[in-house]
Amino acid sequence: MSTTKTFLIDFQYFMPTKIIFQIESIKKLASLAINLGGKPCIVTGKQSSKINGALSYLLDRYSNAVVFDEVEENPTTDTCEKASQICKDNKCDWVIGVGGGSPVDVSKVVAGLANNDGPCEQYFGKDLFKKMPLPILAIPTTSGTGSEVTPYAVIVNRKANAKQTITDFKIFPIIALLDPSLTLTLPKNVTLSTCLDALSQSMEGIVSKKATPITDYLAVKSCKLISQWLPIVLDNPDDINARYWLLYASMLSGIVIAQTGTTLVHALGYYYTLNYRIPHGIANALFLIPMFKRNAKWLPEKVKTIVETIGGIFNDNDPEQSIANVLKYFFEKINFPYYSVYWGVSSDKLKMFSEDIYKDKYRFRNQYGIFTVEDLYKIFNESWNEMR
């Protein structure tokens, strides 16, 4: 009889979104027969869905659609309310979110506000929409957030000047249409940032307090695909094979965090995004080394899996250096400067950031370990410049 001890955990798993994953599926909307209502409101950004042709194909298929194309990189409560008012004024009965994570997130809020009264900020929290939101079709055009398969909408709360999350199982998209060909026109910097976001999400999912056997399996696969295909697509942006697997990996990362949530990495990254306009995925990646050195203390076996998945060698006697080495090697391979000083962050605000995040216990809900203000300050400093 085996005496090996394992963690036997209870868990739940809920993923209601129908996934359609097909190259050039955007051109086949008629044959796919996707109709979630009579009149859609299309929520998108200012450029990407026009450049890659997605918006044109959608308007050909849904000629009566109303378009809101003002979603910014870090959408605000004001943007959500403006878009939802347009949706209501035009009596739209379903929503299409097309673009990166921001348009898809805004589409979820629009769907919720269309059937629920009150300002956007009153829905920050969990399961606060009393009436069922409008049905949502999500069409991601970046290999990043995986928002097409999550119940989250991350929005900048103007009043609090903070990124906050609306979490509600009712805003899971009904259908996610993933077409790798839509990512072919992505600039190199957007490809890098969004894929690093997906990598961060999968790595965080593995060490989250809410991790499950299913999410671990999916997260490991996502990490492996990103480490394998991101260097290739950065050198060969027209490689549809590489684009396919990165979009797939991004979707997996979304499925993972839909169950596990994110950890302290995301919470720390918000400070760089809000204060220095560093893209979300880049901001997260700047904290992977300092945070996973600490995760290696508390969850060495899980971090060992990550190290070996990305292609490194794990030293049981030095788990912290093992994860730092493999991440540095990968970052150098993709030409990513992994200290925030290179991205314009000023060291004089790091102490203030540390004190601010320490007060917000919600940010630590999925994170193993206990952190003091001084611990957080060290993490910010390591992210800023290791030699400091």
Q: Do residue 275 and residue 145 come from a single domain?
A: no
Q: Which of 149, 150, 155 is nearest to 168 (CA)?
A: 150
In a domain, residue 7? The reply is no
The sign one gets for the Cα dihedral 324, 329, 331, 337 is positive
Q: Do residue 54 and residue 194 come from a single domain?
A: no
- Identify the pLDDT of residue 387: 55
pLDDT tens for each residue of the chain, 388 residues long? 444 555 677 888 999 999 999 999 999 999 999 999 999 999 999 988 999 999 999 999 999 999 999 999 999 999 999 999 999 999 999 999 999 999 999 999 999 999 999 999 999 999 999 999 999 999 999 999 999 999 999 999 988 888 999 999 999 999 999 999 999 999 999 999 999 999 999 999 999 999 999 999 999 999 999 999 999 999 999 999 999 999 999 999 999 999 999 999 999 999 999 999 999 999 999 999 999 999 999 999 999 999 999 999 999 999 999 999 999 999 999 999 999 999 999 999 999 999 999 999 999 999 999 999 999 999 999 999 965 4
Q: Do residue 67 and residue 196 come from a single domain?
A: no
CATH code, domain with 367 = 1.20.1090.10
Question: Could you give the C-alpha distances from 188 to 74, 184, 192, 258, in angstroms and in order?
Answer: 19, 10, 6, 27
- Identify the pLDDT of residue 7: 62
Q: Do residue 335 and residue 192 come from a single domain?
A: yes
- Identify the pLDDT of residue 6: 57
CB 52, CB 185: distance < 8 Å: yes
- Identify the pLDDT of residue 262: 97
Instruction: Give the CA dihedral 120, 126, 131, 133, nearest 10 degrees.
Output: 70
Quote the CA–CA distance of 249 and 243 in Å, as a whole number.
Answer: 10
- Name, in order, each residue with C-beta under 8 angstroms of 35's C-beta and a sequence gap of 6 or more: none
In a domain, residue 8? The reply is no
Q: Do residue 219 and residue 112 come from a single domain?
A: no
Q: Do residue 149 and residue 264 come from a single domain?
A: no
CB 40, CB 90: distance < 8 Å: no
Domain boundary among 183, 205, 233: 183
Range of the structural domain that residue 314 is part of? 188-384
Render 234-256 in DSSP notation, one character per residue.
Answer: HH-TT-HHHHHHHHHHHHHHHHH
Q: Which of 125, 260, 156, 252 is nearest to 197 (CA)?
A: 252
In a domain, residue 5? The reply is no
Token pair for residue 342?
Answer: 């290179």
Domain boundary among 183, 200, 229: 183
- Identify the pLDDT of residue 133: 98
Across-strand partners of 137?
A: 96, 175
In a domain, residue 253? The reply is yes
Q: Do residue 86 and residue 200 come from a single domain?
A: no
Domain boundary among 152, 183, 214: 183
Give start and end residues of each alpha helix (H) in the chain.
Answer: 29-32, 48-51, 54-61, 77-89, 101-115, 188-207, 213-235, 240-260, 264-276, 280-285, 288-298, 300-310, 319-333, 350-358, 373-384
In a domain, residue 338? The reply is yes
Q: Do residue 96 and residue 199 come from a single domain?
A: no
Question: Backbone dihedral region of 130: left (phi > 0), alpha (psi from -120 to 50 degrees) or beta?
Answer: alpha
* Pairing label, strands 152-157, 162-167: antiparallel
Quote the CA–CA distance of 178 and 22 in Å, as a whole number.
Answer: 6
In a domain, residue 13? The reply is no
Domain count for the chain: 2
In a domain, residue 166? The reply is yes
Q: Do residue 147 and residue 192 come from a single domain?
A: no
In a domain, residue 243? The reply is yes
